[in-house]
């Protein structure tokens, strides 16, 4: 059978990984796919670097249009990233009847609906395993492995940079800014780390998983996104004393009222396996009604781990290319005409548990005032920690873990607590999930 | 499009789970599969119980032949287990041109080659996700998610009963026999637990994973199988003092000389995520050359978790039924004509690290004698623990962890150590894997 011809857009970290792995494992991959997979053209900005990597074995061009318009290319692999050029080239490739593989989470999270619509009209596949959690085959697990299930929720550590920072903050008791600098020096964080530390990257990935889990269009603009920049070492320590770890989680959940879609620092019980995912590793915990909880763990980024997912998609397309289009795996796990219009809830409507830390006068009656307010809002307390005031200090910290309540309810209670004269400054609020 | 018709052989734990989940999630599954999936006939021994479960919605027969011969049935789901009747019916279903889904690990591990050959000749699919690690989609991950990789090794906790027993032994410091009785009372162990505690069940599952990972025929008879019945609470405790947990692992590894295929109690560093998999849960750690380590965790048994995998296979077959047979996912991940004849190594040829415990006279020179023997066999010591003798005792325990050496080499060294007059009885030998 004639080889599948692949055109690569981009030959950076993931592109060069894809090239190298395909070459190194060529024989093994062909024994699986039953067909040879050949990269026949690469579009890059830096031709010299590309020549070094490809050693003259592949045609190199600087205009991506030459790839997406080439009549011999079956699959276009988009590894440019971002929205502008990447989106334009992906849509052109689709219009030309080519299947597309992409690692571009921003593109799928923000423009997925448009891309899938175009692909559906042309009868081509668009695969994006590499867009979520790097080398972990989580899209495949959600989209194919768990098809029997009504998925109830997903909670994932899906950004390695922030997990590395949080692991270091906890291990060494350091504050955020110090660890960020170290992470940048080690190459675990970008020079401009905003997308990672503000939770945007995690929200892109979460948006994609939510669509696949619940069969809803991608709705990145409705995600609640809170990063780790304001997280204090103190809270990591207090959480630990209470038996919890703080992780930046992407959480999406199906409730009666709609879909929760939120990224924020979260306390989770230290006994959970996912609480012990350290450093730059990723892990996704999925709760299905039949299977219960399953967890998927591995490298969430990097050249060859991400290439592993890109190539798996290429092999899948090689296989499914000959299936009836309506029998292929649907883009978002559910058939395009069977997506649901479940509402994504604003964060104020979400129910969860909370960690509260407040600075109070160390005198009688203060705790009574605080607990009275919580009782008025029907918020019950699950655990409490009151510290001795430091030497010569008249103020101390009170830490409370609450049972589930609605976000707007706790916010109203916090406003009342902050108004107490015996409470100084703001109340620190973090969300808590038992994940059970 | 007309519904896919499924015939069920068996309606026990997994069969009733399959029936219930398919019914409960009918709409959600159809939205994914794009086609209705109907159980149209069930073959059982106990008709009354079957009627209770199916509530008269399905035709019930007592002869499995009526299912495998029925002209309207597209997919036969075999949930009888064992080798005799199950094998006969599966081969008849294949001969009749029906696709087969099975949860039967013994059948695939022992007769997989014959079954796949028959299926290949008839152009039908045989899927068996439920045969390994229950609800965890590990077959899919290995066979499709990691196609880019040269898989290097797999290490799995793939038997819930033994993991439950080991977790309890460690937690409560109890011995094997006591915990086994508790596990039987709780329903975590069968009345005849031999297959689980002797490692046979794990070896079935490991055999299947090895074939998929390395592209070799199933070779259950070449697996080295050692259960947990001889494991002592003492060793679990000493291992813990050295920073290790003991788990019953199925390990398969590719080396220069061939394939390792072995099930045995194994010391693993307590820091590894898989060391913290407790109770009846399963987890599989896979090392690929591109992706690095990935881990898959979930329920390895039970009615609905196993049904989750059965149904996922049914949906996959629904999709791939219309693909060219040579483009479907191959039975053992590699194309049938591209399997390799890599040798499975006998345990004596395997290289690994070891935990040794010996009972020695508490007098000068004993340790020198032991270490001299190890040095003669070029076995280097990684860690050592020597206990004070108990009150009024003249003997004490020495525990050693070695670096890697070949099994036949350590066995020869142990024979020499056991011959020392200062060493009493047998040396306890356990294998150790760093999993890094």
**Residue-averaged pLDDT of chain B:** 96
Using the Cβ of B137 and the Cβ atoms of chain A, whether some distance falls under 8 Å is answered with yes
- What's the complex ipTM? 0.97
Indicate the residue of A21, A31, A215 with minimum beta-carbon distance to B215. A31
With the C-alpha atoms ordered A311, A313, A315, A317, is the resulting torsion angle positive or negative? negative
Using the Cβ of B333 and the Cβ atoms of chain A, whether some distance falls under 8 Å is answered with yes
Binding-site residues of A for L-homoserine, in ranges, read 190
> Rounded CA gap, A184 and A182, in Å?
5
Q: How far is A57 from chain B (nearest CA, A)?
A: 20
Q: Compare all CA atoms of chain B with the CA of A301 and give the residue at the minimum distance.
A: B291
Using the Cβ of B341 and the Cβ atoms of chain A, whether some distance falls under 8 Å is answered with no
The share of chain A scoring above pLDDT 90, in percent, equals 93
pLDDT in tens, A118-158: 999 999 999 999 999 999 999 999 999 999 999 999 999 99
For residue A322, pLDDT beyond 90: no
Residues of A in contact with B321 (CB under 8 A): 327
> Rounded CA gap, A215 and B28, in Å?
9
Q: Is the Cβ pair B136, A22 closer than 8 Å?
A: no
Indicate the residue of B32, B148, B305 with minimum beta-carbon distance to A292. B305
Indicate the residue of A277, A307, A333 with minimum beta-carbon distance to B148. A307
Measure Cα distances from B208 to A70, A204, A257, B332, B339 in Å. Answer: 42, 36, 44, 8, 14
Tokens of A334: 């559910």
pLDDT of residue A40: 95
pLDDT in tens, A270-304: 999 999 999 999 999 999 999 999 999 999 999 99
pLDDT of residue A107: 98
Q: Given phi > 0 = left and psi -120 to 50 = alpha, else beta, which region is A55? A: left
Residues of B in contact with A315 (CB under 8 A): 144, 147-148
Is the CB of residue A245 less than 8 Å from the CB of residue A275? yes
Q: Compare all CA atoms of chain B with the CA of A300 and give the residue at the minimum distance.
A: B291
Residues of B in contact with A310 (CB under 8 A): 148
For residue A2, pLDDT beyond 90: no
> Rounded CA gap, B94 and B113, in Å?
14
Q: Mean pLDDT across the stretch B241-257?
A: 97
Is the CB of residue A147 less than 8 Å from the CB of residue B33? yes
> Rounded CA gap, A37 and B332, in Å?
20
Going by pLDDT thresholds of 50, 70 and 90, the confidence category of residue A41 is very high
> Rounded CA gap, B154 and A45, in Å?
40
What's B144's DSSP letter? I
Q: Which of B87, B140, B205, B299 is catalytic?
A: B205
- Sorted by where each begins, the domain ranges of chain B are 4-134+303-338, 138-299, 350-432
| SS3 assignment, position A221 | helix
Residue among B22, B290, B293, B322 with most chain A CBs within 10 A, to mutate: B290
What CATH homologous superfamily does B4-134+303-338 map to?
Answer: NAD(P)-binding Rossmann-like Domain (3.40.50.720)
For residue A1, pLDDT beyond 80: no
Q: At what angle do helices B26-33 and B13-24 cross, to 10 degrees?
A: 80
pLDDT in tens, A173-207: 999 999 999 999 998 899 999 999 999 999 999 99
Tokens of A324: 């009836």
Using the Cβ of B288 and the Cβ atoms of chain A, whether some distance falls under 8 Å is answered with yes
The share of chain B scoring above pLDDT 70, in percent, equals 100
Residue among B18, B19, B20, B147 with most chain A CBs within 10 A, to mutate: B147
User: Top-level CATH class of A138-299?
Assistant: alpha beta
Going by pLDDT thresholds of 50, 70 and 90, the confidence category of residue A325 is confident
Q: Mean pLDDT across the stretch B425-435?
A: 98
Q: How many CB atoms lie within 10 A of CB B195?
A: 17
The share of chain B scoring above pLDDT 90, in percent, equals 93
For residue B322, pLDDT beyond 90: no
Using the Cβ of B129 and the Cβ atoms of chain A, whether some distance falls under 8 Å is answered with yes
Tokens of A320: 């499914």
State the virtual CA torsion across A184, A190, A191, A197 in degrees, nearest 10: -90
> Rounded CA gap, B168 and B170, in Å?
5
Binding-site residues of B for NADPH, in ranges, read 105
3-state helix vs strand vs coil in chain A, percent to 5? 40, 25, 30
Is the CB of residue A271 less than 8 Å from the CB of residue A281? no
> Rounded CA gap, A130 and A136, in Å?
8
Q: How far is A270 from chain B (nearest CA, A)?
A: 11
> Rounded CA gap, B137 and B145, in Å?
10
Residues of A in contact with B312 (CB under 8 A): 144-148
Q: Is the Cβ pair A304, B320 closer than 8 Å?
A: no
Measure Cα distances from B62 to A253, B15, B303 in Å. Answer: 43, 15, 22
Lowest mean pLDDT segment, chosen from A25-39, B312-326, B418-432: B312-326
For residue B69, pLDDT beyond 90: yes
pLDDT of residue B325: 82
Q: Is the Cβ pair B333, A29 closer than 8 Å?
A: no
Indicate the residue of A292, A305, A333 with minimum beta-carbon distance to B291. A305
Q: What is the DSSP string of A378-406?
A: TPPEEEEEEPPPPTT-SEEEEEEEE--EE
Using the Cβ of A146 and the Cβ atoms of chain B, whether some distance falls under 8 Å is answered with yes
Residue B271 contacts by C-beta under 8 Å, 6 or more apart in sequence? B243
> Rounded CA gap, A267 and B369, in Å?
53
Q: Mean pLDDT across the stretch B12-22?
A: 97
Strand partners, B352: B405
- Residue B122 annotated as catalytic: no
For residue B208, pLDDT beyond 90: yes
Q: Which of A87, A205, A247, A253 is catalytic?
A: A205
Using the Cβ of B28 and the Cβ atoms of chain A, whether some distance falls under 8 Å is answered with yes
Start-to-end CA distance of chain B, whole Å, equals 49
pLDDT in tens, B160-171: 999 999 999 999
pLDDT of residue B253: 98
Which carries the bigger pLDDT value, residue A215 or residue A1? A215
Residues of A in contact with B31 (CB under 8 A): 215, 334-335, 338
Fold topology of B350-432: Alpha-Beta Plaits (3.30.70)
| SS3 assignment, position B350 | coil
What's A330's DSSP letter? P
Residue B398 contacts by C-beta under 8 Å, 6 or more apart in sequence? B357, B358, B360, B366, B367, B370, B384, B385, B386, B387
Instruction: List, as ranges, residues 108-127 from A with C-beta within 8 Å of B.
Output: none
Q: Is the Cβ pair B295, A296 closer than 8 Å?
A: yes
Tokens of A348: 């104020």
> Rounded CA gap, A89 and A96, in Å?
10
Closest CA to B68 of B78, B53, B60: B78
Residue B52 contacts by C-beta under 8 Å, 6 or more apart in sequence? none
Let me know how long chain A is. Answer: 436
> Rounded CA gap, A273 and A112, in Å?
32
pLDDT of residue B1: 75
Q: Given phi > 0 = left and psi -120 to 50 = alpha, else beta, which region is A116? A: alpha
pLDDT of residue B37: 96
What's B57's DSSP letter? S
> Rounded CA gap, B405 and B387, in Å?
25
Tokens of A207: 């948006």
Using the Cβ of B212 and the Cβ atoms of chain A, whether some distance falls under 8 Å is answered with no
> Rounded CA gap, A326 and A375, in Å?
55
Please report where in the chains the tokens 């299905």 appear, as a residue.
A288
Is the CB of residue B417 less than 8 Å from the CB of residue B373? yes
Is the CB of residue B69 less than 8 Å from the CB of residue B92? yes
Is the CB of residue A385 less than 8 Å from the CB of residue A241? yes
Lowest mean pLDDT segment, chosen from A221-225, A321-325, B89-93, B280-284: A321-325
Please report where in the chains the tokens 């600075």 appear, as a residue.
A359
Closest CA to A332 of A50, A88, A143, A64: A143
> Rounded CA gap, A116 and A405, in Å?
37
Closest CA to A116 of A322, A331, A261, A293: A331
For residue A222, pLDDT beyond 80: yes
> HSE (CB half, 13 Å, CA atoms) of B172?
14
pLDDT of residue A340: 94
């Amino acid at each position: 059978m004639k080889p599948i011809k692949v055109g690569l857009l981009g030959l950076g970290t993931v592109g060069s990984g894809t090239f190298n792995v395909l070459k190194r494992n060529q024989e093994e991959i062909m024994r699986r796919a039953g067909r040879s997979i050949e990269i026949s053209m690469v579009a890059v900005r830096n031709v010299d670097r590309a020549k070094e990597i490809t050693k003259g074995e592949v045609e190199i061009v600087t205009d991506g249009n030459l790839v997406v318009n080439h009549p011999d290319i079956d699959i276009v692999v988009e590894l440019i990233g971002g929205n502008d050029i990447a989106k334009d080239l992906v849509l052109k490739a689709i219009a030309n009847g080519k299947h597309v593989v992409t690692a571009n989470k921003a593109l799928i999270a923000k423009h997925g609906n448009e891309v899938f619509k175009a692909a559906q009209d042309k009868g081509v596949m668009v695969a994006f395993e590499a867009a979520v959690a790097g080398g972990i085959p989580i899209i495949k697990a959600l989209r194919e492995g768990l098809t029997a299930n009504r998925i109830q929720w997903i909670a994932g550590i899906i950004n390695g940079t922030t997990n590395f920072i949080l692991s270091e903050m906890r291990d060494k008791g350091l504050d955020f800014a110090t660890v960020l600098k170290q992470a940048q020096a080690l190459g675990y964080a970008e020079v401009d780390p905003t997308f990672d530390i503000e939770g945007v990257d995690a929200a892109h990935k979460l948006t994609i998983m939510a669509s696949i889990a619940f069969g809803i269009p991608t709705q990145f603009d409705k995600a609640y996104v809170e990063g780790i920049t304001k997280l204090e070492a103190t809270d990591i320590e207090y959480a630990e004393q209470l038996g919890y770890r703080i992780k930046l989680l992407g959480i999406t959940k199906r409730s009666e009222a709609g879909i929760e879609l939120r990224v924020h620092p979260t306390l989770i019980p230290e006994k959970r396996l996912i609480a012990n995912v350290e450093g730059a590793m990723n892990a996704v915990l999925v709760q299905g009604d039949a299977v219960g909880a399953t967890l998927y763990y591995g490298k969430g980024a990097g050249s060859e781990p991400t290439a592993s997912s890109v190539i798996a998609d290429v092999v899948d397309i090689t296989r499914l290319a000959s299936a009836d289009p309506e029998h292929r795996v649907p883009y978002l796990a559910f058939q395009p005409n069977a997506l649901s219009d479940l509402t994504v809830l604003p964060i104020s409507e979400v129910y969860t548990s909370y960690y509260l830390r407040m600075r109070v006068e160390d005198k009688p009656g203060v705790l009574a005032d605080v607990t009275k307010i919580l009782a008025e809002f029907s918020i019950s307390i699950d655990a409490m920690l009151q510290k001795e005031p430091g030497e010569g200090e008249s103020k101390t910290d009170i830490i409370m873990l609450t049972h589930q309540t609605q976000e707007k309810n706790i916010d109203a209670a916090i406003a009342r607590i902050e108004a107490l004269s015996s409470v100084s400054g703001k109340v620190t609020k973090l969300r808590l999930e038992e994940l059970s």
